[in-house]
């Protein structure tokens, strides 16, 4: 379903809120070209040769330094594995942790890429519902104590697809639950650099023992998704297993891309670049929320992200997100229905909306069209209900 929807969004007449693409205006083509020329001029054949599976050491050192700057974490570069985007990291973790039938705890709604990656290894998923502050800790506690999941996969910062960020209190509650078990927590921080409001909240690595947390990161949202560079950070025993799994898959990630990225980071102010991204995304998110406040019926609810790229919309019963997708597409607006973000077939009242890849004009026009569709859909459902009610009373 996702593939078919994204094919539709390639049409130039479609206003799309369905994808998860960064704004192409922030892909620094000239800067990457300069970095590539310098790498090929200075590093010569080393940039085109085989390399170590762990990845380019100076790039891993830069990532370790970033952890010190952002979270005050002391991370050894030897605990970092460069991967082909964080998606490969998810596949590697599924391979080394999951045997068929193993229990896995995951957010609901959860990240589609993680569901796809883990599903290949045939686990039994145990969804944990998300609320405004994060996962339902009573449900997580029950799952951890009765099912013993091998890991709990979480996106605590600007979660995909919901856009919510876990509160500090909820992180502490989750850490308390995990610390009394043998479950490992996988913290995927793909959107943490894109927080544009609120205080910075602690990483789970500050709340749990080092061997109980695996950290994932990505350059896709702040540099280039096409370069396919992410990383996995874990204590040595887990990392050794991950390196072995990666060797069997692809030997190592693209070394030329790693060297170009590292050169770019040395020669450019990445913090200023990220600041520009956050300013733009914050304005677009605010515009979309303001339009929803103004135009959408009160029965429709939605999250209010403090960062990232997504808003999660919930329709009132008995509306269907899949049907809303079809109706919106007839008005040349693409949205993403929520069912693929659940492991148990739920989610047909949920919709993921992306605000990063549409400018202000398209957001305004697209949300105006979508609001008209929602109002018409609700009116139609109400008429249908009113027609059925007298029949029931007569019976």
The pTM assigned to this predicted structure is: 0.95
Task: Give the CA distances from residue 57 to residues 4, 54, 262, 292, in Å, rounded to whole numbers and listed in that order.
Answer: 40, 8, 10, 46
Sheet holding 310-314, edge to edge: 301-302, 310-314, 350-354, 336-337
Task: Share the mean pLDDT of the chain.
Answer: 95
**Maximum distance among all alpha carbons in the chain?**
85
SS3 category, 83: strand
Secondary structure (3-state) at 155: coil
351 closest CA partner among 318, 378, 313: 313
Query: Residues 358-382: pLDDT tens digits?
Result: 999 999 999 999 999 999 999 999 8
Note the pLDDT of residue 382: 87
pLDDT computed for residue 198 by the predictor: 78
In sequence order, what DSSP letters do the residues of 227-239 get, joined into one string? T--EEEE--HHHH
What does the pLDDT look like over 37-83, one tens digit per residue?
Answer: 999 999 989 999 999 999 999 999 999 999 999 999 999 999 999 99
The burial of 198, by beta-carbon neighbours within 10 Å (0-12 exposed, 13-18 middle, 19 or more buried), is given as exposed
Distance between CA atoms of 371 and 328, rounded to whole angstroms? 9
Query: What backbone phi and psi angles, to 5 degrees, belong to 166?
Result: -65, 140
In the predicted structure, residue 279 carries a pLDDT above the cut 70:
yes
Residue 365 burial (C-beta neighbours within 10 Å; 0-12, 13-18, 19+): middle
Q: Of all residues in the chain, what percent are helix, strand and coil, respectively (each to 5)?
A: 50, 15, 35
Specify the residue for token string 């990161």.
217
For 302, other C-beta atoms within 10 Å of its C-beta total 19
List the end-to-end C-alpha distance of the chain, in Å, as a whole number.
41
Question: Residue-wise over 235-263: b if at least 16 C-beta within 10 A, else e?
Answer: eeebbebbbebbeeeeebbbbbbbbbbbb
The region of weakest confidence among 17-21, 296-300, 389-393 is: 389-393
3-state SS class at 241: helix
Q: List residues bridging with 215 in a β-sheet.
A: 187, 233
The number of residues making up the chain comes to: 395
Per-residue pLDDT, 387? 67
Q: What is the pLDDT of residue 392?
A: 47
Domains 2-20+272-394 and 29-267 share a fold: no
Torsions phi, psi of 171, nearest 5? -60, -40
Q: Does residue 289 register a pLDDT over 90?
A: yes
- CA atoms 21, 27, 33, 38: torsion sign: negative
Q: Does domain 29-267 have CATH number 3.40.50.300?
A: no
The arithmetic mean of pLDDT across residues 213-230, rounded, is 97
**Residues 67-124: tens digit of each pLDDT:** 999 999 999 999 999 999 999 999 999 999 999 999 999 999 999 999 999 999 999 9
Coil/strand/helix, residue 133: coil
Average pLDDT on 19-32 reads 95
- The pLDDT confidence band at residue 384, using thresholds 50, 70 and 90, is confident
pLDDT score of 307 more than 90: yes
CATH architecture, range 2-20+272-394: Alpha-Beta Complex (3.90)
pLDDT for 126-183, tens place per residue? 999 999 999 999 999 999 999 999 999 999 999 999 999 999 999 999 999 999 899 9
Place of tokens 């300013």: 279
Q: What is the pLDDT of residue 99?
A: 98
Task: Give dist(CA 94, CA 105) in Å, integer.
Answer: 12
Q: Which residue has the higher pLDDT, 12 or 170?
A: 170
Tell me how far apart the alpha carbons of residues 347 and 134 are, in angstroms, rounded to a whole number. Answer: 17
- Read off the pLDDT band of 386 (50, 70, 90): low
Domain spans, the chain: 2-20+272-394, 29-267
């Amino acid at each position: 379903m996702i593939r078919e929807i994204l094919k539709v969004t390639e049409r130039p007449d479609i206003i799309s809120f369905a994808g998860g693409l960064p704004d192409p205006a922030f892909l620094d083509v000239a800067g990457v070209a300069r970095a590539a020329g310098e790498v090929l001029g200075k590093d010569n054949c080393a940039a085109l040769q085989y390399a170590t599976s762990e990845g380019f050491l100076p790039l891993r050192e830069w990532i370790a330094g970033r952890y010190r700057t952002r979270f005050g974490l002391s991370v050894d570069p030897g605990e970092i594995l460069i991967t082909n985007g964080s998606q490969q990291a998810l596949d590697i973790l599924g391979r080394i942790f999951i045997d068929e039938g193993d229990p896995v705890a995951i957010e609901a709604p959860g990240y589609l890429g993680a569901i796809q990656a883990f599903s290949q290894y045939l686990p039994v998923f145990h969804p944990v519902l998300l609320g405004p502050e994060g996962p339902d800790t009573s449900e997580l506690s029950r799952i951890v104590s009765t099912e013993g999941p091998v890991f709990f996969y979480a996106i605590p910062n600007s979660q995909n697809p919901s856009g919510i960020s876990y509160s500090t209190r909820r992180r502490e509650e989750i850490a308390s639950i995990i610390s009394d078990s043998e479950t490992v927590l996988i913290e995927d921080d793909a959107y943490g650099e894109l927080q544009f409001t609120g205080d910075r909240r602690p990483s789970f690595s500050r709340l749990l023992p080092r061997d109980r947390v695996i950290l994932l990161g990505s350059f896709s949202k702040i540099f280039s998704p096409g370069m396919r560079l992410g990383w996995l950070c874990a204590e040595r025993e887990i990392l050794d297993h991950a390196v072995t799994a990666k060797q069997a898959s692809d030997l190592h990630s693209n070394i030329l891309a790693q060297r170009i990225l590292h050169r770019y980071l040395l020669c450019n102010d990445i913090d200023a670049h990220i600041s520009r991204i956050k300013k733009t995304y914050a304005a677009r998110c605010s515009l979309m929320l303001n339009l929803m406040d103004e135009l959408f019926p009160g029965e429709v609810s939605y999250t209010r992200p403090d960062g990232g790229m997504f808003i999660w919309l919930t329709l009132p019963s008995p509306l269907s997100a899949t049907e809303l997708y079809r109706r919106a597409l007839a008005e040349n607006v693409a949205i993403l229905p929520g069912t693929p973000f659940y492991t148990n077939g739920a989610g047909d009242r949920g919709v993921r909306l992306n605000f990063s890849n549409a400018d202000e004009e398209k957001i305004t026009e697209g949300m105006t069209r979508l609001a008209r569709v929602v109002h018409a859909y609700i009116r139609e459902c109400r008429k249908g209900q009113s027609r059925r009610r007298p029949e029931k009373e007569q019976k």
